[in-house]
Amino acid sequence: MPRKRPAAVERLDDARHEEITSGLVDRGFVVVPGFLPREVVTALRGEGARRRAAGEFHAATIGRAGNAQRDASVRGDSICWLGARAVTTPERALVAHLDALCVALNRALFLGIAEFEAHYACYAPGAAYARHVDRFRDHDARVVSLVLYLNDDWRDADGGALRIYATRGAHAPACELAPRGGTLVAMRSEAIEHEVLPANAERWSIAGWLRRRPRPERVAGW
Ligand code: OGA
Ligand code: MN
């Protein structure tokens, strides 16, 4: 039986879920500092480092399934899918938070989210990810994109900002976000273009996508 969470924790979660819901509806993206407690973020970073040392990371690809390609000039991070291997205690804590977020988003916005996928990402100094949207052209399952940053003591001089564009093709970014540990960003997967600028330090995160069952005949949008 899951233990009942203290009322204060539940109220905080409810407030965060409302903030994320209204941010997605009003702007298409939202930034939530302190989404997870610092000790969970530090533990997740430790898990990521341990998995990388164990050889569980590989170079990220672009495109989907049969079309996946490596091109470090477009995308230079290396990744490790969560759930591909035994999930550890801090990873379970994250999964519990994401489950609760899926329930709240479905309740408020009827998004039909059925599952999520997530991976650790580590950008070596100089690595970047060119401007893109997260939903694949040929597959509309991804509804909401999440990035949780795992960097303690990130300084602005370290670079590595996430640039978010409010509309497709917009010239100027709407937001330039430093990847500080504990900050979560949520974006509509089909609508929000974004890019990762190169950093001077190793840049760690977990990226996740809340997915509905794919329906190829469906017209994109929500
Ligand atoms: C991604 C992505 C953004 C970031 O993995 O698709 O856009 O800030 N990540 O790491
Ligand atoms: Mn992305």
pLDDT score of 222: 44
Predicted TM-score (pTM) above 0.85: yes
List the end-to-end C-alpha distance of the chain, in Å, as a whole number.
35
Mutation test residue for ligand 1: of 205, 206, 210, 211, the one with most atoms within 8 Å of CB: 205
CB 100 within 8 A of CB 167: no
**207 alpha carbon – ligand 1 mean position (Å):** 6
In 3-state terms, what secondary structure has residue 10? Answer: helix
Q: Above 80 in pLDDT, residue 125?
A: yes
Using one digit for the tens of pLDDT, what is the confidence trace for 38-97? 999 999 999 999 999 999 999 998 887 777 888 888 999 999 999 767 789 999 999 999
Residue 180 sits at φ, ψ, to 5 deg, of -80, 140
Residue 27 sits at φ, ψ, to 5 deg, of -120, -15
**1 alpha carbon – ligand 2 mean position (Å):** 36
- The DSSP 8-state label assigned to residue 66 in this structure reads G
Q: Above 50 in pLDDT, residue 202?
A: yes
CB 62 within 8 A of CB 68: yes
Question: For 9-18, 21-30, 39-48, which range has the lowest pLDDT when averaged over its residues?
Answer: 9-18
Residue with CA nearest ligand 1 atom 1: 207
Q: Closest Cα partner for 37 from 9, 59, 71?
A: 9
The binding-site residues of ligand 1, defined as CB within 6 angstroms of any ligand atom, are 121, 129, 134, 147, 162, 179, 194, 196, 205, 207
CB 134 within 8 A of CB 145: yes
Q: Residue 159 CA: which ligand is closest?
A: 1
Write the CB contacts of 129 (distance below 8 Å, at least 6 apart in sequence): 74, 75, 76, 77, 123, 195, 196
Q: Which residues, in sequence order, are bridge partners of residue 165?
A: 193
Q: Give how far Cα 90 sits from Cα of 38, 68, 100, 144, 197, Å.
A: 11, 30, 16, 22, 28
**123 alpha carbon – ligand 1 mean position (Å):** 10
Q: Above 80 in pLDDT, residue 132?
A: yes
Tell the burial category of 138 from Cβ atoms under 10 Å away from its Cβ (0-12, 13-18, 19+).
exposed
